[in-house]
Amino acid sequence: MNLILLGPPGSGKGTQARLIRDQHGLVLIATGDILREEVQKETPLGLEVKGIMDAGLYPSDDIILEIFEKHLRQAKNQGVILDGVPRTLNQAEKVDKMFEKLGTELTMVIQLAVDEKELINRLSNRQVCKSCGASYTIDLPPRVVGMCDACSGSDFVRRADDAPEAVKTRLDVYNERTKPLIDYYARHNRLRSVDGMKSVDQVNEQIEILLRDFQ
């Protein structure tokens, strides 16, 4: 089973991707997490993309596709869930070709439908665990104050691309470049949609209903 989560920044893709990974034994390919790790380690790739990401922009298609293909080759026999790729029609077409080249195919694209005003509020109030990347907001805080639910870490930071000016840029870029993927996958009869405004558990329950036929 190979899945794509599609939705604007702050829609909860990362949270749902980790849940689906754990529930179905899939390999998570989250290009944003991979790139942020490269930035933190100050690798050549990290140094190349740091300024781009801090401004709320996306690295080039070539960079994203190179990362995707490398990780897909490692996980093709296990099944994957993609978060952060594809972001453009060019990426979507090439992702389809990469699946085909490796003898597999995309199972489903799950859109997390949300309200843009709520997204701005979520992102402006978001903090992430420095250790594992789990995110929290005022509405969805950790169960124990000051302790990450996922790894029990206690160091929380605000991502540079969650600053208000970067949030607006990210949403503008999403609406221009990524939103057309909804029509692309709908034409290929692979798109399914869930209400991303509900609680984490309720969103996950909607996704699990969609995935029952593939278990």
Query: Which of the residues 13, 21, 36, 94 is marked catalytic?
Result: 13
Task: From the candidates 18, 94, 126, 192, give the one annotated as an active-site residue.
Answer: 126
13 is catalytic: yes
Tell me, yes or no, if 158 is annotated catalytic. no
Give the integer Cα–Cα distance in Å for 152 and 146: 9
127-129/156-157 β-pairing: antiparallel
**Half-sphere exposure at residue 115, Cβ-oriented, CA atoms within 13 angstroms:** 6
Cα angle value 69/62/96 (rounded, 5°): 45
21 is known as an active-site residue: no
Whether 87 sits among the annotated catalytic residues: the reply is yes
Catalytic residue, from 18, 122, 170, 192: name it. Answer: 170
> How far is residue 157's CA from residue 128's CA, in Å, rounded to a whole number?
5
Of the residues 87, 94, 122, 192, only one is catalytic, namely: 87
Residues near 64 by Cβ (< 8 Å), separated by ≥ 6?
Answer: 31, 58, 84, 85, 86, 87, 91
Angstrom CA distances, 143 to 137, 138, 173, stand at 12, 12, 33
Catalytic: which of 159, 177, 190, 198? 159
Catalytic sites, residue numbers: 13, 87, 126, 159, 170
